Amino acid sequence: MRADELASRQIQAARFEAQLLSGVPARDPVEVAGRLLAIQGQDRRGARLAIRARTAGLTAADVDRALSDDRSLVITWLNRGTLHLVRSEDYWWLHSLTVRPGLPGAVRRMLAAAGVATADADKGVAVIEAALAADGPLTRIQLRQMLASAGLPTEDNVALHLIALASMQGAVVRGPVIGSEHAYVLARDWLGKPPRAVEHDVALAALARRYLAGHGPASDRDLAKWAGLPLGQVRRGITALAGGLRDRPDGLAELAAARRDGAVIPAPRLLGAYDPVLLGWASREPVLGRHQGIVTVNGLFRPFVLVDGKAAGTWAWKARRVVLDRFGELPAAAEGALAAEALDVQRFLEPTARQDH
């Protein structure tokens, strides 16, 4: 193996360990969210499978319990205006930092394109907040009915855009899981009174530290893309950590305490849709290689097979079992590991499998 290939592999191994895909697994869903800081959350099963791949012995019901009963996790629109799963204790400062004014503006433009004027958008947000204050938690279908009763259009994802707008404005988050639906609640009702606001530069430093803990080694451009923040801001956050960073000859940033020189490439894994290992850096090429157009299609991220640190196929959950679609022949040892993974995915999903269909 050439020196540059070996260096690249060592970086990937360190990132996999930072992502909890190798080394000691996390104990619970909250620990996973604490390490990764924010997990893509628009795909219900995918977010739960991200937890499975980084823990041992849990089930999807454990994730739902953290979202519903414990209120220790929450899903809402954060980084890049996309749904993310985070620890509830991280919600307030992450929302303040990552939901920049341009994001609600983008939602308003989408609503305008669907024929919803600014006044009607504001009315829709008010209807949602009043409904949740009086009768929450409410599902998307129930909120859509409320909006329709108020004379507002609800077709073409208008209801979802209005819920997103209310969430980006800090009023609404996803609350308990009710059957196959994830209901919405008022943020203050569900999470309590907001803590004292964190100063912007302090939040940028916290963002950089937490990101590097779950993604390092990485560059400032990696963090900027992941968080959806200007490059100058994330550089301020990384600069604030200067004393706690490890010097690297490749120029990447890494926490001094990480010490991942002995990290290894993880055993074969079945990773879910929108797995964080594809979303944390500016380039997905190290994992996907020439298969990027198969795993990521029109902005959708398919569940995929990870073998020797590379995408080796895709998979689907059909008739309550894993169905593999390999890119090519795999070693017998990898096939055995993937068979065990398939059984574990089935074990993990079974308590909620009927609700998802």
48 and 162 fall within a common domain: no
Q: What average pLDDT is seen over the chain?
A: 95
User: What value does the mean pLDDT take over residues 333-354?
Assistant: 90
Q: How confident is the model at residue 6 (pLDDT cuts 50, 70, 90)?
A: confident
pLDDT at 356: 53
Judge whether 151 lies within some domain.
yes
Burial category of 275 from C-beta neighbours within 10 Å (exposed 0-12, middle 13-18, buried 19 and up): buried
3 phi/psi in degrees, rounded to 5: -60, -40
In a shared domain, residues 92 and 107: no
- Do 289 and 338 belong together in one domain? yes
Query: Are residues 206 and 232 located together in one domain of the fold?
Result: yes
> Which position has the higher pLDDT, 4 or 357?
4
Q: What are residue 76's DSSP bridge partners? A: 84
Inside any domain, residue 78: yes
Where does the pLDDT of residue 2 fall: very low under 50, low under 70, confident under 90, or very high at 90 and above?
confident
**What pLDDT does residue 156 have?**
75
Residue 307 parent element (H or E): strand 304-307
pLDDT number for residue 260: 75
Amino acid 39: pLDDT: 98
Radius of gyration of the chain, Cα coordinates, nearest whole angstrom = 21
Eight-state DSSP code of residue 227: H
Does residue 90 sit in the same domain as residue 202?
yes
Q: Are 220 and 80 contained in the same domain?
A: yes
Residues 238 and 209 in one domain: yes
- Domain count of the fold of the chain: 3
Instruction: Quick: pLDDT tens for 143-160.
Output: 999 999 999 988 879 999
Mean pLDDT of 254-260: 87
Verify that 92 and 34 share a domain, yes or no: yes
Residues 220 and 295 in one domain: no
Q: Is 191 inside any structural domain?
A: no
Contact 139, 151 (CB under 8 A): no
Q: Which residues of 309-341 are buried (b: 16+ CB within 10 A; e: fewer)?
A: bbbbbbbebeeeebebeebeebeeebeebbeeb
> Assign residue 248 a region: left if phi > 0, alpha if psi is -120 to 50, beta otherwise?
beta
Within 13 A of 144's CA, how many CA atoms are on the CB side?
Answer: 12
Q: Give the domain extent around 324.
A: 269-356
- 21 and 80: one domain? yes
Q: Are residues 151 and 205 in the same domain?
A: no
Is residue 221 exposed (0-12), middle (13-18) or buried (19+ Cβ within 10 Å)? middle
Beta bridge partners of 173: 185
Please check whether residue 179 lies inside any domain of the structure.
no
Tell me how far CA of residue 152 lies from CA of 149, 167, 331, in angstroms. Answer: 7, 18, 57
Give mean pLDDT, residues 15-36.
97
**Cα–Cα dist 109/128, whole Å:** 19
> Which among 348, 331, 349 is positioned nearest to 267, based on CA atoms?
331
* Cα torsion angle, 279, 284, 286, 289, sign: positive
**Contact between residue 61 and residue 42 where contact means Cβ atoms under 8 Å apart:** no
> What's the pLDDT band for 357 if we cut at 50, 70, 90?
very low
pLDDT in the model for residue 267: 97
d(CA 352, CA 357): 9
Residue predicted with more confidence, 208 or 1: 208
Reported as a pLDDT band with limits 50, 70 and 90, residue 50 is: very high
Q: CB count, 10 Å around CB of 119? A: 8
* Any domain includes 189: no
Task: Give 353's pLDDT tier (boundaries 50, 70, 90).
Answer: low
* Same domain membership, residue 111 and residue 72: no
Residue where a domain stops, chosen among 182, 211, 244: 244
